[in-house]
Amino acid sequence: MDIVALLSDPAAWIALITLVVLEIVLGIDNLVFIAILSNKLPANQQTKARRIGLALALIMRICLLMLIGWIVTLQTPLFDLGITGEVGEHGTPSFETAFSGRDLILLAGGLFLLWKATKEIHHNMDPDDHSGEMLDKKKGVAQITFGAAIAQIIALDLVFSIDSILTAVGMTDHVPIMVTAVVITVGIMLIAADPLAKFIEKNPTLVMLALAFLVMIGLVLIADGFGFHVPKGYVYAAMGFSVAVEMLNMVKRNRRKAEAEAVA
């Protein structure tokens, strides 16, 4: 189907809109990670790091779309440890150890997120502990710090990009629709990246909440790598509820602060 035919096909527009919404939802965790990581950099490098990170995510996803045939083969099992969980009501095991290339990438990404989020939580709880945190602003090695940030963003971009592209492949067979959806999604993420990062930085309690989200996402990636699929709707509902509760706490703190200033 050529571009003109796609533009005149209502089903193609519906697929595009649906895919953009899904890609935005799937990109939230990627955006949170970039926001937290970039906030660890010196102020004059933060916006640059976010833009480079998202630009690399766009390039990576478009390159992967050009290799759809190879991406699909990532779902073919490479080896099997022969361990499976109980068969559920749908006739499929609760988990399995037949690992495909995608499973291994998800496992690596999940473990990396757990390691990074746990390290950052420890650093937030004990900021005076200088136990080798590469992105510690107090170290003062801006060039190495910036390079380390970009390297970690690239690593997670790869994990999130593969999951994103596999979702796109499941939604439509038309590569132009997939590419358009990816470009629109990353464009929206570019617009949202700076406000999100600044909002997180101005509200320290949100940093811990965001790091907790990364721990949860890491666990979900690891579970997915073992064939235990956690419905994403549950994950995002939990994240949304947590954010709503934290917003109420923020409103309460701001009111108390305003009252205290009025009395003073």
pLDDT in tens, 151-170: 888 887 777 777 777 766 66
Average pLDDT value over all residues in the chain:
76
Summarised one tens digit per residue, pLDDT across range 193-226 is 888 888 877 777 777 887 788 788 788 888 888 8
The model carries a pTM of 0.65
pLDDT category, 132, cuts 50, 70, 90? very low
Say yes or no to pLDDT of 76 above 50: yes
- Per-position b or e across 38-70, b if 16+ CB within 10 A of its CB: bbbbeeebbeebbebbbebbbebbbebbeebee
Angle, helices 232-263 vs 10-38, to 10°: value is: 50
Residue 50, token pair as written in the block? 């976010």
pLDDT score at 191:
87
